[in-house]
Amino acid sequence: MQKRKLGNSGLEVSALGLGCMGMSFGYGAAKDPQEMIPVIRAAVERGVTFFDTAEVYGPFTNEILVGEALEPFRGQVVIATKFGWKLDPEAGKNVGLDSRPEHIKEVAEASLKRLRVECIDLFYQHRVDPEVPIEDVAGAVKDLIQVGKVKHFGLSEAGAQTIRRAHAVQPVTALQSEYSLWTRTPEKEVIPTLEELGIGFVPYSPLGKGFLTGKMDENTTLEAGDFRNILPRFTPEAMKANRALVDLLGSIAAEKNATPAQIALAWLLAQKPWIAPIPGTTKLHRLEENIGAASIELTPEDLRAMESAASCITIEGARYPEHIEKMTGR
């Protein structure tokens, strides 16, 4: 597996990471941790060194899983986790945003224990909190870096202005936001800002929450508790319309002896050398398929052809319901 540096920070990670959320949260019933630990360890054996979790996934159970799975590889891997929610453990859910400095420091202490590490490699603000100035958030993480509890500061779903303000207080190592062939919003302002400031980009949902694999269509029934059930882009009508993008990926995949998922990931890797996507999976064969994307080369001609074809496709359905989309920072 090739390595990539996240911007100017010097933080080196595998070109493809592993998003661990779906093992515990978001896509229906949580998987058995004893079945997921071998998947995480198989990723390490295959060269993946970058793993993504958050306290809110579960809540807490995903960090515990990742901590146990990666304990034998301490010092060999980079673990990213996140703060920024007010959690109600009894209800098992988040009840709002909370990026107050004192709360950030409490979350860091708890995450260190669950992850079984002495220092968090990359600590993201999960969503921008409009009630707390971003300078205060950056300052709190700076304090944690100075005392050796955190190595790198990250933001998630933040806009260009917020990134600049945070970066002025504590250099931002990486931004994590949704980015793929069917969610290209970051291209307008965010990616140019990251390039200017020397910040790495970690796209989540690089396979469109599973849709770009080609394994879903308008007849797909999602499990109860799968959060895609509330996403406008996953209505049967939207999925039917959006198949055009999957068909495009499929036609290029056929030429390259690859799968649509591999082409979608290879496209992201070809955008910038400081982009490291984090596709998630719970299955070993999908993990191997995703890792295979790192060895697929898309030529400038391939990329131009994809751009030209994709520009003719209108994506149907909003990315999130309005109340969630509002949490994207400015």
Tell me the pLDDT tens digit for each residue of 230-243: 999 999 999 999 99
pLDDT of residue 150: 98
Q: For 276-304, what is the mean pLDDT?
A: 97
Amino acid identity, position 195: E
- What does the block give as tokens for 47? 């060269």
d(CA 142, CA 77): 22
Q: What is the pLDDT of residues 4-37, one digit of tens each?
A: 999 999 999 999 999 999 999 999 999 999 999 9
pLDDT of residue 263: 98
Does a cis peptide bond (omega within 30 degrees of 0) precede residue 59? yes
Q: What is the pLDDT of residues 103-137, one digit of tens each?
A: 999 999 999 999 999 999 999 999 999 999 999 99
Q: For 34-62, what is the mean pLDDT?
A: 98
The pTM score is: 0.97
Q: For 76-96, what is the mean pLDDT?
A: 91
Task: Kindly tell me if the per-residue pLDDT of 203 is higher than 80.
Answer: yes
In this prediction, residue 326 has a pLDDT band, given cuts at 50, 70 and 90, of confident
Task: Kindly tell me if the per-residue pLDDT of 91 is higher than 90.
Answer: no
Domain range summary for the chain, segments of one domain joined by +: 3-213+262-296
Task: Kindly tell me if the per-residue pLDDT of 323 is higher than 90.
Answer: no
Helices (H), 152-234: 160-169, 190-197
- What does the block give as tokens for 159? 């806009």
Task: Kindly tell me if the per-residue pLDDT of 92 is higher than 80.
Answer: no
Q: For 324-328, what is the mean pLDDT?
A: 83
Minimal CA–CA distance to 49: which of 80, 9, 82?
80
pLDDT of residue 251: 96
Backbone angles phi, psi at 160, to 5 degrees: -60, -45
- The DSSP H or E segment spanning 260 is helix 260-271
d(CA 15, CA 294): 7
How does DSSP classify residue 156?
A: E
Task: Kindly tell me if the per-residue pLDDT of 220 is higher than 80.
Answer: yes
Task: Kindly tell me if the per-residue pLDDT of 329 is higher than 80.
Answer: no
In this prediction, residue 168 has a pLDDT band, given cuts at 50, 70 and 90, of very high
The CATH number corresponding to 3-213+262-296 among 1.10.3720.10, 3.20.20.100, 3.40.50.1820, 3.40.1590.10 equals 3.20.20.100
In sequence order, the 6+-apart residues with CB closer than 8 A to the CB of 287 are 18, 39, 42, 43, 46, 281
Residue in 57, 124, 179, 204 annotated catalytic: 57
pLDDT of residue 90: 78
Please state, rounded to an integer, the average pLDDT across all residues of the chain. 96
Please give the share of the chain, as a percent, with pLDDT higher than 70. 100
| Whether 57 is catalytic | yes
pLDDT of residue 71: 98
Minimal CA–CA distance to 89: which of 70, 67, 66, 64?
64
**Which residue bears the tokens 């390259």?**
256
Provide the CA 51 distance to its chain's centre, in angstroms: 10
Strands 3-5, 12-14: pairing kind: antiparallel
